[in-house]
């Protein structure tokens, strides 16, 4: 039985090969997921998504698996064009974290919207199969503004009369405020 450095190198190489196989599998699953989004194929999305799915959108609203599949199937979202790149895939135990950039043209209830996001997609092993469990995009426009001017993302409460500050804070807890230019 091997012990010491040789054994550790053997274990590390075996783990690296296992991670490389998992990374290749996740890349293929991500490609399949995006193809299904473009096609509006809810059968494939249903197969790929975990029952515990948390799908956050770039405007901070979110869906669970049932509501996401319903919106895609009803063509509430119609993905017209999507490009995606995975900058990094990190496999840790039974989870895979995918980071990258996704650009898309999406029709949302008939209004075409361009998206340019950095994202984090999370896949987990469930009963021996990889399942898509979470998605979190960040709009690149917001990131650019934040780096150029960190105050650009702040609610301008100093310009509001005191009686209007509490309703703004209350609305922030409920979701984005579309009247402000940073949303």
Clarify whether residues 45 and 85 are in a common domain: yes
**pLDDT at position 176 over 50:** no
Strands across the sheet with 95-108, in order?
Answer: 62-63, 49-56, 129-139, 111-126, 95-108, 77-92
- SS percent in the chain: helix, strand, coil, step 5: 45, 35, 20
**pLDDT at position 44 over 60:** yes
**pLDDT at position 36 over 60:** yes
- The SS3 assignment for 96 reads strand
**pLDDT at position 68 over 90:** yes
pLDDT given for residue 60 in this prediction: 87
Q: Worst-scoring range by mean pLDDT, 53-67, 79-93, 111-125, 147-161?
A: 147-161
Quickly state the pLDDT bin for 3 (edges 50, 70, 90).
low
**pLDDT at position 145 over 70:** no
Name the residue with higher pLDDT: 30 or 169: 30
Clarify whether residues 167 and 125 are in a common domain: no
Clarify whether residues 124 and 162 are in a common domain: no
Instruction: Calculate mean pLDDT across residues 94-122.
Output: 93
The pair of three-digit structure tokens given for residue 61, joined into one six-digit string: 């609203």
**pLDDT at position 47 over 60:** yes
Query: Could you tell me if residue 131 is inside a domain?
Result: yes
E strands present in the chain: 49-56, 62-63, 77-92, 95-108, 111-126, 129-139
Instruction: Calculate mean pLDDT across residues 32-56.
Output: 97
Instruction: Calculate mean pLDDT across residues 107-123.
Output: 93
Clarify whether residues 134 and 154 are in a common domain: no
Clarify whether residues 52 and 87 are in a common domain: yes
Query: Could you tell me if residue 144 is inside a domain?
Result: no
Clarify whether residues 97 and 154 are in a common domain: no
CATH of the domain at 88: 3.10.450.50
Quickly state the pLDDT bin for 58 (edges 50, 70, 90).
confident
The domain in which residue 173 lies consists of 149-183
Clarify whether residues 130 and 163 are in a common domain: no
Quickly state the pLDDT bin for 19 (edges 50, 70, 90).
confident
Distance CA 124, CA 94 (A): 6
Structurally, the chain folds into a number of domains equal to: 2
């Amino acid at each position: 039985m091997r012990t010491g450095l040789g054994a550790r190198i053997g274990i590390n190489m075996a783990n690296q090969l296992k991670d490389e196989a998992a990374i290749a599998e996740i890349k293929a699953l991500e490609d399949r997921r995006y193809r299904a989004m473009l096609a509006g194929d809810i059968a494939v999305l249903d197969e790929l998504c975990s029952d515990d799915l948390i799908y956050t959108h770039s405007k901070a609203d979110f869906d669970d698996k049932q509501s996401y599949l319903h919106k895609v199937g009803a063509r509430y979202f119609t993905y017209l064009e999507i490009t995606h790149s995975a900058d990094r895939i990190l496999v840790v135990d039974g989870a895979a974290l995918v980071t990258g950039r996704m650009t898309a043209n999406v029709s949302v209830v008939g209004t075409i919207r361009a998206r340019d996001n950095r994202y984090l997609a999370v896949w987990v092993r469930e009963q021996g199969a990889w399942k898509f469990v979470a998605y979190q995009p960040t709009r690149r426009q917001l990131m650019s503004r934040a780096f150029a001017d960190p105050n650009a993302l702040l609610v301008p409460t100093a310009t509001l009369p005191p009686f209007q500050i509490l309703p703004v804070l209350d609305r922030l807890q409920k979701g984005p405020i579309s009247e402000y230019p940073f949303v």
